[in-house]
Amino acid sequence: MQRRMTTLWIVSILIYAFLYIPLIVVVVFSFNNSKLNAEWVGFTLHWYQTLFHNHEMLLAARNSLIIAISASTLATLLGTMAGLAIHRYKLKVLPILAFTPVAMPEILLGVSLLLFFLQVLNMTLGMFSIIIAHTTFCIGFVAIIVRARLQGMDDLIFEAARDLGATPWQTFYHVTLPLIRPAIIAGALMSFTLSIDDFVITFFTKGVGEPILPIQIYTMIKVAITPEVNAVSTLLMLLTLTLIIVATRFDTSVLRSESK
Amino acid sequence: MILTSFRLPGEFGGLAPLYILPDKANTDSGLTIETYQFFFSDFIYVEVFLKSFAVAIFTTIICITLAYPLALLIARSPRKFRNLMIMLVVLPFASNFLIRIYAWMIILGPESALSHIINSTLAFFDIAPVTLLFSPFAVLIAMIYVHLPFMILPLYTNLEKHDPILLDAAQDLGANAWQRFWYVTWPQSLPGIFSGSALVFVPVLGMFAIPDILGGTGDIMIGNLIKDQFLGTRDWPFGATLSIMLTLAVLSITGLFSWFARPAGKFA
């Protein structure tokens, strides 16, 4: 038994290494004083400097932030409502409708949205279409999280509130909302990261015009690889890492105040 | 409810009636199955579909083999370490998808340390050097890398629920380590494997970015075909036909997986 655990440990450590080495390589080479991503030459911050003077890149970062913030706000609102609706009206179709986009390959959603925007709505692709597209695929995730939270709760609480004379709105505001708040926050943070990271759907709905961060990275990788990509990557990793740390902090503090 | 129904036209309703609508390139009015005939008339498209399936199957199998030991270790670790270990699995996949692909461009690049090691070993045995980047190998490795956590998580959730008493019982009855695994742990973990497989298989099937960036010119998959139809040659009806084919494939695969997972689920 003991020997088996050791083998398991060795294999697992190798798998962890497989998961982390690529990312470490990217970070290390972002400080490398060489145009080639081949061998270590010396430490430099040069790539970060060029990055911060790259106007296009800064614009792309700003656009991506705007998209992520608007899309996650919209998706959280609509997704919460969808989650509530799925929980309340026990129709079999509703969860299927909300969750299929999550389960399908992204490319299908991207293509359908492209067709929808151009053929049905006849609109020009741009920031607005990307925001709508991102909202669409984030709603499902928020709905899943909110619904999971509602499923774990006793419906009697809501009935009790109604018995005590609360209007439906008061029940929602004073009972339901505080109870599902952790789920809403988790959903919002998830939508934000999904949106800022999304490449496939953005790729199909971007149109021409405004630079968007993932697309910008894609072009840089496809056309010419400079260590600038490493620098952007490192900064982006830092951002998601901070978000995750904030999320877990927030989540546990919410849970704690609840258990009291 | 209104909201969910409102969302659907954007996703599927928009697609279903529209793929038969002729666009500018295809001006005869109304419905046509021309694009479907075209799909089957040229073996090349069927071949790409089969190839994508092969990539997806390989990726899934390798993901199972890699994920199993790690998930097992996490599930059998002391409870206080489990969350941290799972966190460590999830963390790298929170970073941008393109960055994770890009990392492999560096590692597999012709000037990289790995390429040097492999090629000097090959040179030692008098074998011609290989290029790792822009090859099916690069595509496969990145596919595995990107989708591994999707296999580890459901597998862990399943393994964690197993009752260790069953293993003790098996040992008491004289089962050796291998028998205990094969007759006790493995059958119980099948639902986890199936849900993980669905989570890996489906996205791999539709992936276009990885073959696009890491693959050579010959390594195209369904996703690349679809992308080219929509953004390259702008043959929308054919692109939509391909999308429908992919949708059908995905639906039947998910149906198959859930059907497989069900009887096993009863025993778990």
Residue pLDDT, tens place only, A188-236 = 888 888 888 888 888 877 777 677 888 888 888 777 667 778 888 888 8
Instruction: Point out the residue among B18, B94, B104 whose CB comes nearest to the CB of A193.
Output: B94
B window 128-147, beta carbon within 8 A of A: 145
B184-196 mean pLDDT:
83
At residue A42, the 3 state secondary structure works out as coil
8 Å CB contact between A56 and A216: yes
Could you give the ipTM of this predicted complex?
0.73
Bridge partner list, A43 = A32
Who has greater pLDDT, B251 or B140? B140
Fold of A42-259: MetI-like fold (1.10.3720)
- Whether the per-residue pLDDT at A131 is higher than 60: the answer is yes
Predicted pLDDT at A87: 80
Predicted pLDDT at A249: 66
Length of chain A measured in residues: 260
Residues of B in contact with A82 (CB under 8 A): 3-4
Share of chain B above pLDDT 70, in %: 74
pLDDT band for position B206 (cuts 50, 70, 90): confident
Helices (H), B92-221: 97-108, 113-124, 136-160, 164-172, 177-180, 186-206, 209-214
- Whether the per-residue pLDDT at B31 is higher than 70: the answer is no
| Sequence-distant (≥ 6) Cβ neighbours of residue B60 within 8 angstroms | B151, B197, B200, B201, B204
At residue A213, the 3 state secondary structure works out as helix
- Whether the per-residue pLDDT at B7 is higher than 50: the answer is no
Helices (H), A126-176: 127-151, 156-163, 168-171
Query: Does A40 reach chain B within 8 Å, measured CB to CB?
Result: no
The DSSP line for A185-221 is HHHHHHHHHHHHH--HHHHHH--SSS--HHHHHHHHH
Amino acid letter, residue B185:
T
CA distance A32 to A30: 6
Mean pLDDT of chain B: 73
In chain B, where the domains are located: 34-267
Q: What number of helices (H) and strands (E) belong to chain B?
A: 14, 0
Residues of A in contact with B112 (CB under 8 A): 37-38
Query: Does B240 reach chain A within 8 Å, measured CB to CB?
Result: yes
| Sequence-distant (≥ 6) Cβ neighbours of residue B120 within 8 angstroms | none
Q: How many CA atoms lie within 13 A of A125 on its CB side?
A: 21
CA distance B182 to B167: 11
B14/A113 touch (CB, cutoff 8 Å), yes or no = yes
B129-156 mean pLDDT:
82
B141-148 mean pLDDT:
87
Who has greater pLDDT, B8 or B208? B208
Predicted pLDDT at A99: 67
Burial of residue A37 (number of CB atoms within 10 Å: 0-12, 13-18, 19+): buried
Q: Is the domain B34-267 a CATH 2.60.40.420 member?
A: no
CA distance B254 to B202: 8
Predicted pLDDT at B10: 35
CA distance A96 to B86: 29
Bridge partner list, B231 = none
Integer-rounded Cα Rg, in Å, for chain A is 23
8 Å CB contact between A201 and A113: yes
Query: Does A123 reach chain B within 8 Å, measured CB to CB?
Result: no
pLDDT band for position B32 (cuts 50, 70, 90): low
Residue pLDDT, tens place only, B39-86 = 666 667 777 888 888 888 888 889 888 888 888 888 888 877 887 888
B window 25-64, beta carbon within 8 A of A: none
Residue pLDDT, tens place only, A84-130 = 888 877 776 666 666 666 667 777 777 777 777 776 676 777 788 88
CA distance A23 to B111: 18
Query: Does A169 reach chain B within 8 Å, measured CB to CB?
Result: no
Predicted pLDDT at A38: 62
Residue pLDDT, tens place only, B94-135 = 777 888 888 888 888 776 767 777 777 777 777 766 777 777
B201-225 mean pLDDT:
78
Q: How many CA atoms lie within 13 A of A129 on its CB side?
A: 27
In whole angstroms, how far apart are CA B144 and each of A3, A10, A210, B23?
A: 28, 20, 33, 38
Predicted pLDDT at A89: 77
Query: Does A107 reach chain B within 8 Å, measured CB to CB?
Result: yes
B7/A1 touch (CB, cutoff 8 Å), yes or no = no
Predicted pLDDT at B85: 82
Residue pLDDT, tens place only, A19-75 = 888 888 888 877 877 766 666 666 777 777 777 777 777 888 888 888 889 999 998
At residue A43, the 3 state secondary structure works out as strand
CA distance A215 to A203: 7
Who has greater pLDDT, A191 or B19? A191
Question: Which residue from A125, A165, A121, A237 is spatially nearest to B230, judged by alpha carbons?
Answer: A125
At residue A226, the 3 state secondary structure works out as coil
CA distance A225 to A211: 18
B250/A139 touch (CB, cutoff 8 Å), yes or no = no
Residues of A in contact with B202 (CB under 8 A): 103-105
Token duo for residue A10: 């060795």
CA distance A83 to B1: 9
